[in-house]
């Protein structure tokens, strides 16, 4: 069973679900883990990186052996100057590698 973190990205970007409260989002993830959820779906494009930051905060203090799997996606690249513009679809190998590596930092996991 998984936890989808798209809405945690909040508003202020092209596909945002509106304002979210990070503390409530973190509590929701932790509650889901207590109920047996063993993976979290996020992506760099969710909130233009904010969802991954919220996931990282939710996992703080959880021993690595008890952490869920973290799944991310790639292929949607945004322009920081225009957060309301729809992301571009980019599936070039160099972009995929860059996006995957960039996602490791916010959630603080190894590849």
Per the annotation, the verdict on 46 as an active-site residue is yes
DSSP state of 30: H
Which of 46, 76, 78, 99 is catalytic? The answer is: 46
Q: Distance (Å, rounded) from C-alpha 80 to C-alpha 50?
A: 13
Name the residue among 106, 102, 51 with its Cα closest to residue 77: 102
pLDDT tens column, 63-96: 989 999 999 889 999 888 998 889 999 999 999 9
| Domains of the chain, earliest start first | 2-107 (3.20.20.100)
* pTM reported for the whole predicted model: 0.86
């Amino acid at each position: 069973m998984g936890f989808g973190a798209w809405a945690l990205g909040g508003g202020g970007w092209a596909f945002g679900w509106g304002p979210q409260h990070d503390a409530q989002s973190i509590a929701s993830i932790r509650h889901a883990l207590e109920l047996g959820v063993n993976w979290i779906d996020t992506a760099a494009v969710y909130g233009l990186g904010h969802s991954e930051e919220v996931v990282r905060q939710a996992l703080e203090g959880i021993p690595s052996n008890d952490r869920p799997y973290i799944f991310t996606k790639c292929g949607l690249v945004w322009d920081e100057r225009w957060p309301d513009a729809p992301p571009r679809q980019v599936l070039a190998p160099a972009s995929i590698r860059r996006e995957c590596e960039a996602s490791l930092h916010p959630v603080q996991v190894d590849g």
